[in-house]
Amino acid sequence: MPRDRSHPRTHTYPPMASFTLHGIPVSRGIAIGRAHLLTPAALDVRHYLIAEENVEAEVQRLQQALAAVHRELQTLWNELPKDAPTELGAFIDVHALILSDPMISEAPLDIIRSRHYNAEWALLTQIDELSAQFDEIEDPYLRERKADIQQVAERVLKVLMGSEPLPTAITPAAGDEFQAQMIVVAHDISPADMLKFRDRSFIGFVTDVGGQNSHTAIVARSLDIPAAVGMSQASQLIKQDDWVIIDGDAGVVIVTPSALVLEQYRERQQAALRARKKLSKLKKTPAVTKDGTAITLLANIELPDDCPAALEAGASGVGLFRSEFLFMGRASDIPSEDEQFEQYRRAVAAMKGRIVTIRTLDIGADKPLDQSEHTALNPALGLRAIRYCLSEPQIFLTQLRAILRASAFGKVRILIPMLAHAFEIDQSLAMIEQAKAQLRELDIKYDPEVQVGAMIEIPAAALALPMFVKRMDFLSIGTNDLIQYTLAIDRVDYEVAHLYNPLHPAVLQLIAMTIAAGHKAGIDVGVCGEMAGDTKLTRLLLGMGLREFSMHPAQLLSVKQEILNSDLETVVPQTRKILRAMEPAAIAEAVQALQTM
């Protein structure tokens, strides 16, 4: 975990020359504030030898630090904000798994005993050895998670050194207009630390590493906070308390801007705030294109408590209820049928007759129920989602009964994730019928006509759509995983983040094929991944024929505005040209041109 290096401004420094950094835009908006640097605790580690009689005491000190970080991660998990993105819980689980691995929990203790290094030095020695021999590490999970290993080490070092990573405020220079507004600048920010930013005066993030789907990016979008990642040397070039401007739309960071530039960006910031206030007036406006085509806008939620925000944003219903949030961190206490039913019923009641689409348990591999579970060689390709549910039929049946029971209280749809094979579809449908039969035997009410849909997030599914449209009532495209699997990219691995591209022609073809197949079969097709909430892609998706978007509630009004300003008679022909294009530059240029049509 990065260590706090802030200090009061007690001196007046000569003005620094302004400079601009270019990175990856991941969250919209403009942030203006003072830089708060988070530098690695490893830079301040002392190296000294321990006397023989004090070795076991030093071992115990490191063990206590490891245990403290375990407790801290568990506390963070238990206190996850209800609006936290699903991936954030998975990131915390990953760190807990790494912390339990003998390479971290035991090897540094052996170094203390054999070499008499102090605890901090021993831990860093082990981390350095792991990093230097990364490709040869036997544990495949650790081999692919170098950044996570280093972040875990930072947390342990913080405990050993007694440092607090975040201040309550930076002492401002006299007369600073934005004295409480701070911008975090770091090489990287751990997902656990991200949770601590919510109650502080931080308004933006800048990191050296990261990509469109790094944890910093995911949380920044969820919190609707401007961020720019992949800035390379930002943490070394930016100084403590420097004035910093983040242009989240362009992925640009301006350091020590001139008075003229600062004023220009303040005006842009105020204009954006006015635009957002104007957006709020669209809450009750129907989502209809200029040519009169009605569009359905739904919300993605994790818990029933998210429903008020969805309604406040004007959502027509819930397009994705991520049910795994009810299960995470509860391996020894899996929610009972009654507990699950009550949560689903609450969501259905809160949406007041609007549709609620509940995705069945999407867990396993990189999102284990039990943090001590063995992680697969490649988590993204392992026992997860419907594969996990079909391997644990009692867990699956329990959840299906709970969902069906909730369907008696309102409009409910069941969404099955990660389907790829006909036998998976058939087994899932058979399990739903079994759950219905069990409820009938007990004379428990449910909606016998409840719709069942499939997530299209594996290229094989998009290429074999006839077997889906023949069996399912609706389809929902999970663009996050679809892009990941199509391009063979770990979407949270910053080292390949630059390759994650929703506009890759193969991705666009798969999405267009899915929408077209659904229309031909007369069934609804929606998008519930990140692309649905990206206003730069709204018209492109409309041109493909998409009529149902599901996204984080904070994105809904912006997308609605794009829909209201779109004319399909103009957008559709241009989209067809885009789908015929294969050159990235031509596609990007054409998509940008759509914004002005």
In the predicted model, residues of the chain with pLDDT beneath 70 are 1-16, 39-44, 81-88, 90, 132-147, 163-180, 190-201, 213-216, 218-219, 222-223, 328-332, 364-379, 491-495, 497
Could you tell me which residues come within 8 angstroms of residue 99 by beta carbon, excluding any fewer than 6 positions away? 66, 69, 70, 73, 105, 152, 156
Stated length of the chain: 597
Q: What residues are paired with 525 via a beta bridge?
A: 475
CA atoms of 159 and 138, how far apart (whole Å): 28
Q: Which amino acid is at 577?
A: K
- 3-class secondary structure, 1: coil
What's the token pair of residue 171? 């002492």
Instruction: Please indicate, yes or no, whether the overall pTM of this predicted structure exceeds 0.75.
Output: no
| 221 annotated as a binding-site residue | no
Q: What are phi and psi of 408, to 5 degrees?
A: -75, -10
What's the confidence (pLDDT) of residue 192? 59
Q: Determine how β-strand 243-247 pairs with β-strand 252-255.
A: antiparallel
Which helix (H) or strand (E) segment is 493 a member of? Answer: none
Residues 6+ apart with CB under 8 A from 570: 597
Please choose, from the candidates 217, 303, 234, the residue with its C-alpha nearest in 3D space to the C-alpha of residue 21.
Answer: 234
Judged by DSSP in three states, 8 sits in coil
Catalytic residue check, 36: no
The 3-state secondary structure of 342-361, one letter per residue: HHHHHHHHHCCCCEEEEECC
The residue annotated as part of the active site, out of 36, 95, 307, 528, is 528
pLDDT at residue 372, as a whole number: 45
Backbone angles phi, psi at 319, to 5 degrees: -90, -15
**pLDDT reported for residue 140:** 45
User: How far is residue 501's CA from residue 407's CA, in Å, rounded to a whole number?
Assistant: 38
Whole-number pLDDT of residue 166: 47
Give bridge partners of residue 186 from the DSSP assignment.
Answer: 38, 207
- Cα–Cα distances in angstroms (integers) from residue 494 to residues 26, 164, 207, 489, in the given order: 13, 26, 11, 10
- 457 assigned to a ligand binding site: yes
Domains and CATH numbers, the chain: 2-40+166-260 (3.50.30.10), 43-161 (1.10.274.10), 287-594 (3.20.20.60)
- What is the number of other CB atoms lying within 10 angstroms of the CB of residue 47? 11
Outline where DSSP puts E strands in 371-521: 412-416, 451-456, 474-477
**pLDDT the model gives residue 371:** 45
> DSSP code of 464?
T
485-493 long-range contacts, Cβ below 8 Å, gap at least 24?
485/380, 485/457, 485/458, 485/459, 486/459, 486/510, 490/144, 490/380, 491/211, 491/212, 491/213, 492/87, 492/91, 492/213, 492/214, 492/215, 493/144
Tokens of 322: 């991520």
181-210 burial, b at 16+ Cβ within 10 Å, e below that, comes to bbbbbbbbbbbbbbbebeeebbbbbbbbbb
Distance CA 546, CA 511 (A): 9
pLDDT at 525: 98
Residue 116 among the catalytic residues? no
- Is 491 a known ligand-binding residue? yes
Task: Note the pLDDT of residue 474.
Answer: 98
Got the DSSP string for 78-93? HT--TTS-HHHHHHHH
CA-to-CA distance for 130 and 509, rounded, in angstroms? 41
Q: Is 359 annotated as a binding residue?
A: yes
Of these residues, 215, 389, 504, 552, which one is catalytic? 215
What kind and span of H or E run contains 492?
none
In this prediction, residue 334 carries a pLDDT of 86
Q: Is 106 helix (H, G, I), strand (E, B) or coil?
A: coil
* 71 marked among binding-site residues: no
**Residue among 163, 127, 164, 166 at smallest CA distance from 147:** 127
What ranges make up the beta strands (E) of 293-430? 296-301, 317-322, 355-359, 412-416
Round to whole Å and give the CA distance between 564 and 567. Answer: 8
Distance CA 144, CA 10 (A): 44
